[in-house]
Amino acid sequence: MFLPSLARQWVHKRFDDNVFIGEPSADRDGSFRVNSAFPVHHELYSDSLSGLSASGYLIEVARQANLAISHRFFDVPLESNFLVTSIDWQFERAEPYVVTELEPYSVVTKVSDVLRRKGSVCKVATRSEFRLGGERFLSGGATFLISARHAGVPAEVEDGPISARPVVSPSEAQVRHVANVLIGRAHGERVPLLVNPKHPYFFEHPNVHVPGMMLLEGGKQAAVYAALRAFSVLQGMYGDLQAGQIRFGRFADLKQTVWMTARFVALEETERGCRLPVEILFEQGGREIGRILGTLAFLDADEVVRTSAIIRQRIHDSGSRALKPQPAGGEAL
């Protein structure tokens, strides 16, 4: 399903493939709306056992919607910096979100708070609903600070201590390609974030800090990896964050390792799988830089592969047995 995308400068992207939303519009009730379609061949977010890393991708969609609305309707200059201070989200169903139909969806956003200083917007808070076929399937909110962009020199990061740490296998990170494995082997309870400054998505343009969406995706991988090691009943299951709250108080430096620790409560059985409350702590240089308080949800991986419309579409597009669905743990989806 193809939908025209917004011009990339409105969402601070260099490449059209990384723009996930269409033109924003204003509704009569004061809310704003963008339309979107699930990606089938995105180099990062489509690289998932389920065909879509739903929590990370949809939070990025909401982030892009917030950027576009701020620029187009609140006159925030394109050269501004956006610092997300908090995000929360919850899927309607108590299980990992799997795309079963490739239909377009909409994001309806209400701006709940705008703070101005000297006539310029410096803080915005929003609430968003994701709707498919008229039904809400995800809701959440975000608060971010806006400031003038200061030209800086990107940190020089070579393939040193961070990227040289032992990498878990793609199947352990529940992706297909090693380039999208963002975690290293656990050191006790701590899992290192692997920062590759040449990653084509997270570093499509120079960054002086670890991108927030990389922290989210890495935190999810770390939590699922730790859960599969801690609970044998979860073997052969696919996991994703079904709900969460993110707060970061510090930037993550590119030159030091970010360590992630997942702390679990009690594993709960659901009608079709399992749920596991989790707290993910992010530390760097011995100091906490942020945390995610949320819930992991798990479903049988073979069932996820069978029901994924994105995987079916990839098989159709490829016309090759190389993309034929494999049993759980396979890496050739």
CA 192, 211, 1: angle at the middle one, nearest 5?
110
The residues facing 26 across adjacent strands are 32
Distance CA 144, CA 84 (A): 4
Single-letter code of the amino acid located at 136: R
Whether the CB-CB separation of 251 and 309 falls below 8 Å is answered with no
H helices present in the chain, as ranges: 54-73, 170-173, 212-230, 301-307, 309-318
Per residue of the chain (333 residues), what is the pLDDT tens digit?
Answer: 556 689 999 999 999 999 999 999 999 999 999 999 999 999 999 999 999 999 999 999 999 999 999 999 999 999 999 988 999 999 999 999 999 999 999 999 999 999 999 889 999 999 999 999 999 999 999 999 999 865 444 444 444 444 456 789 999 999 999 999 999 999 999 999 999 999 999 999 888 899 999 999 999 999 999 999 999 999 999 999 999 999 998 899 999 999 999 999 999 999 999 999 999 999 999 999 999 999 999 999 999 999 999 999 999 998 854 545 444 444 444
User: Which class is domain 8-148?
Assistant: alpha beta
What is the C-alpha R_g of the chain?
A: 19
CA 22, 51, 300: angle at the middle one, nearest 5?
135
pLDDT of residue 160: 40
**Does this chain's domain 8-148 share its CATH topology with 170-322?**
yes
**Whether domain 170-322 has CATH 3.10.129.10:** yes
Q: SS3 letters for 32-91? A: EEEEECCCCCCCCCCCCCCCCCHHHHHHHHHHHHHHHHHHHHCCCCCCEEEEEEEEEEEE
Domain boundaries, the chain: 8-148, 170-322
